[in-house]
Structure 1
Amino acid sequence: MFDHSHYVPVIKWKRGEQRALEYLDHPLKNHMTPLLEITPIFFEEEEDEKSRSQKLDKELVNIGQDVRRCWNNDTPVFVDTIQLEVDDQLFMSTGKHFLEYVIEDIEAHGTPAIPVVNTAHYQPFWSSLENVLRQYGRGLCLRVKRGQLNNLGNLKNDIDLVINNLHLTPENIDLVLDFEYIGDDTPSVLFTNALMGIVQFPYLTQWRSFSLMGTSMPSSLRMKANTLGNLPRNEFDVYKQLVSIRGGLGRLPSFGDYTINNNTYTNFDPSMMQVAATIRYTTADKFLIFRGASTKGTANGGFQQYISLAQDVVKHPDYYGRSYSYGDGYIYDCAHQLNGVSTGSHETWRRAGVNHHLTLVINELANLHGSSTPGTPVASIRP
């Protein structure tokens, strides 16, 4: 399907990340396959089946249309609905399983969709998956977590069950080895674990594609207000080390990450919580964290803080310039109050940061592997 020079980012299916993908320079999309992660729904304990189904309907309405608008490309996307699988009783109001509904709606709007699976699911998920495989014949993406490498015998048995029960072969499957959060690992331990995980992985050379991903971004940024922090991009540093010894790997994986996000989810209502103004900006070797104070109320300037934070980004020596990406243009326009950009919101700043990150990584991988991208994208959309 694609080789090691390809990029596989996790796109959490929220509005900020959706728009980041939509505003990505279109030729760059040919160098990536996004893994669209449908975000979880947090149900109340006392909710009945009808209420849960109605929430599910509301969450997934127009998903095919939204994916088509944001991706707007003829190449496939990976679609992960696993976050919705809270038990074996959750279905759409029509009685259809959510996996089947999501894949059908995305396909109906013209985007090839490859379902993402783990090695363990409730039976309704497997039954729905079989229907999807019969209808579209695109195979699947198998997402294996780091902890499963602790027992390779059990992992192989689990993989064989998936393959045999679904009547597939590794050649029909895109494999994603997901290390999830790696910020607590030392670089040497992380590299060793990644190396051993790859060389010992079952059917290594047979998978349709093979990707390695992780994130150094913690679930919570513990920083003082009005400071500049940074985090190393351990996931990309380790990948570059793997590239340097590619001849001894057996197979060099594609690179994947969680863009500027952590891998976890929380039941979080920003209207009820204290949220600090923050701009996350990716550079060649680190994430820069421009941190303000809480945006709640007017004591700290509210959302006006984003203007000064944007000015700090633009003045930083690692800023890539206004025309590098849509996100960089948005930062510049906020800093200089141009093109109708005011303070923005938490959502629009996540959009800008993710869009910049996607652009940067695609160009980094092109340079690392000696391939070519269509050139430096131009920021041309100012919604």
Structure 2
Amino acid sequence: MPSLHPSYPPYIPVIKWQKAEQKALEAIDEELVDQVWPCIEVRGVTHHQLLMSEVFHYWKGTVLVDYADPSGRLGGRRMEVFESFLSVAGAKNYPIIPVLDSRDAVELSDKMQQLLSTFDSVVVRLRIESLSLSQDHFKQVQDACRILCQLKVSPRLMVDMGECPSEWAAQDLRSFAAVLRDMKGCGFYTVHLTSGAYPESLSDVSSMAEYDRHDWRLWKELNTIASDLLLGYSDYGILSPKWTEEILKKIAKKVALRYTREKDWLILKATGKKKQDSIDLSVILVTRYAKDFMGSKFSLGDRVMATRADSEVPDREKKGGASSHLTEAWIHHIAYVVKEQY
């Protein structure tokens, strides 16, 4: 459970199942593992045995697995492959929580119902836009909760806004919280609010930028007015909710450091992609932004950045490159949320 909110459910970072993110999960401090439930989005149709071996190589705790396509549905071969995955995971009693879109959750085949019944919990993922919850949304999650309860599994709800709005009215927030309360009252064990505020592109950044973490601010304000909900925190971390597989292949052409702070992300960007560019940015981070830098003992990600900035460490021992920076940014982000905020 979260260290600062011990009665709340674990933090759920939404993870695109790419190599940089896999390495980040592997590097999370062991003491934090029980406080984090990664939600793995298997965007490619990955063979179930391969995914199983990857997951338990990189992560030792509970994990959510979502096989949906970018629209959120189990279309095409995804349903078939997801069923194969659940068959193996359920038989081996792995600490996996299946994730189903609310639209799929009310249209379960007999086979899928049988497979889901072998798990302790199932997450219903309700995808919405902004702070808008309709009667249709409520009916979907109500029916999904009823079906899962009949299967004798613990239903959990993940309300996913995708891109987080930057502004909202107090009345809209109160209305939203009221509907969330009614949804939880349907029988869900936990409710998480998922959203992302990280920018879709860093192409406009020349050397430095700061981007507000609206997703964290939204959760804080909701938690203030509806603390009885024990609303779980979930985000897209240092990735935009709009990023697809194709975009992910293009995001790392220049070296950039992404550093999570209390209210925003600090972005430091170089003009090139050589190791020296990585070193120079790290020096800027630990000197010019010393008051923000959490220190080498905070997380493995911070340690990598500090080592890279240390002039006494030979360059050959320093990790650099765009992919490495994604990994260390994720490690730091997860550690920051769990240790300092949630």
Distance 1:108 1:72, change over 3 A: farther
User: Helix, strand or coil for the counterpart of 2:102?
Assistant: coil
Distance 1:86 1:153, change over 3 A: closer
1:333 maps to 2:307: yes
1:352 maps to 2:312: no
Q: Residues 132-143 of structure 1: matches in 2 within 5 Å?
A: 132-134=115-117, 136-143=118-125
Per-residue CA distance 1:29-65 (angstroms, 9 max, x = gap)? 1112221221x23xxxxxxxxxxxxx743xx552112
Residue in 1 that maps onto 2:36: 32
Distance 1:352 1:272, change over 3 A: closer
Over aligned residues, Cα RMSD in angstroms? Answer: 3.2
Q: Residues 229-244 of structure 1: matches in 2 within 5 Å?
A: 229-244=209-224
Distance 1:71 1:324, change over 3 A: same
Unaligned runs of 5+ in 1: 42-54, 296-301, 367-383
Counterpart code for 1:219: E
Per-residue CA distance 1:191-218 (angstroms, 9 max, x = gap)? 6544422211333243111111211112
Counterpart code for 2:184: L
Residue in 1 that maps onto 2:244: 266
Counterpart code for 1:311: V
1:90 maps to 2:77: yes
Counterpart code for 1:118: D
- Does the aligned pair in 1 maintain the 2:90–2:115 contact within 8 Å? no
Counterpart code for 1:327: G
What is the alpha-carbon distance in structure 1 between the residues aligned to residue 163 and residue 130 of structure 2? 15
What is the alpha-carbon distance in structure 2 between the residues aligned to residue 274 and residue 8 of structure 1? 24
1:223 to 196, 204, 208: 204
Unaligned runs of 5+ in 2: none
TM-score (norm 1): 0.76
Counterpart code for 1:209: T
1:185 maps to 2:174: no
What is the alpha-carbon distance in structure 1 between the residues aligned to residue 92 and residue 310 of structure 2? 39
User: Helix, strand or coil for the counterpart of 2:198?
Assistant: coil
Per-residue CA distance 1:167-204 (angstroms, 9 max, x = gap)? 5389821111112112x522x34x65444222113332
Residue in 2 that maps onto 1:196: 175
User: Helix, strand or coil for the counterpart of 1:103?
Assistant: helix
What is the alpha-carbon distance in structure 2 between the residues aligned to residue 272 and residue 319 of structure 1? 28
Counterpart code for 1:287: W
- Does the aligned pair in 1 maintain the 2:64–2:99 contact within 8 Å? yes
Once the two structures are TM-superposed, the CA of residue 105 in structure 1 deviates from its matched residue by 4.3
Distance 1:239 1:21, change over 3 A: same
Q: Residues 73-84 of structure 1: matches in 2 within 5 Å?
A: 73=61, 76-83=62-69
Q: Alignment length, in residue pairs?
A: 331
What is the alpha-carbon distance in structure 1 between the residues aligned to residue 249 and residue 124 of structure 2? 36
Counterpart code for 1:308: D
Residue in 1 that maps onto 2:188: 207
Once the two structures are TM-superposed, the CA of residue 304 in structure 1 deviates from its matched residue by 3.0
Residue in 2 that maps onto 1:129: 112
- Does the aligned pair in 1 maintain the 2:126–2:141 contact within 8 Å? no
- Does the aligned pair in 1 maintain the 2:101–2:125 contact within 8 Å? yes
What is the alpha-carbon distance in structure 2 between the residues aligned to residue 274 and residue 112 of structure 1? 33
Residue in 2 that maps onto 1:309: 281
1:281 maps to 2:259: yes
Per-residue CA distance 1:306-342 (angstroms, 9 max, x = gap)? 1111111111121111111000001112222638543
Counterpart code for 1:103: L
- Greater mean deviation of Cα atoms: 80-89 or 273-282: 80-89
Once the two structures are TM-superposed, the CA of residue 355 in structure 1 deviates from its matched residue by 0.3
Residue in 2 that maps onto 1:120: 103
- Does the aligned pair in 1 maintain the 2:20–2:326 contact within 8 Å? yes
Per-residue CA distance 1:201-260 (angstroms, 9 max, x = gap)? 3332431111112111122124243x110011111122222333345xx51301111111
What is the alpha-carbon distance in structure 2 between the residues aligned to residue 124 and residue 179 of structure 1? 22
User: Helix, strand or coil for the counterpart of 2:124?
Assistant: strand
- Does the aligned pair in 2 maintain the 1:90–1:97 contact within 8 Å? yes
User: Helix, strand or coil for the counterpart of 1:120?
Assistant: helix
Residue in 2 that maps onto 1:15: 19
Counterpart code for 1:72: K
2:60 to 72, 78, 82: 72
Distance 1:233 1:56, change over 3 A: closer
Once the two structures are TM-superposed, the CA of residue 282 in structure 1 deviates from its matched residue by 0.3
Per-residue CA distance 1:71-119 (angstroms, 9 max, x = gap)? 213xx3211111277774416xxxx811122334445676311111112
What is the alpha-carbon distance in structure 1 between the residues aligned to residue 280 and residue 81 of structure 2? 43
- Does the aligned pair in 1 maintain the 2:252–2:323 contact within 8 Å? no
Q: Residues 56-67 of structure 1: matches in 2 within 5 Å?
A: 56-57=46-47, 60-67=48-55
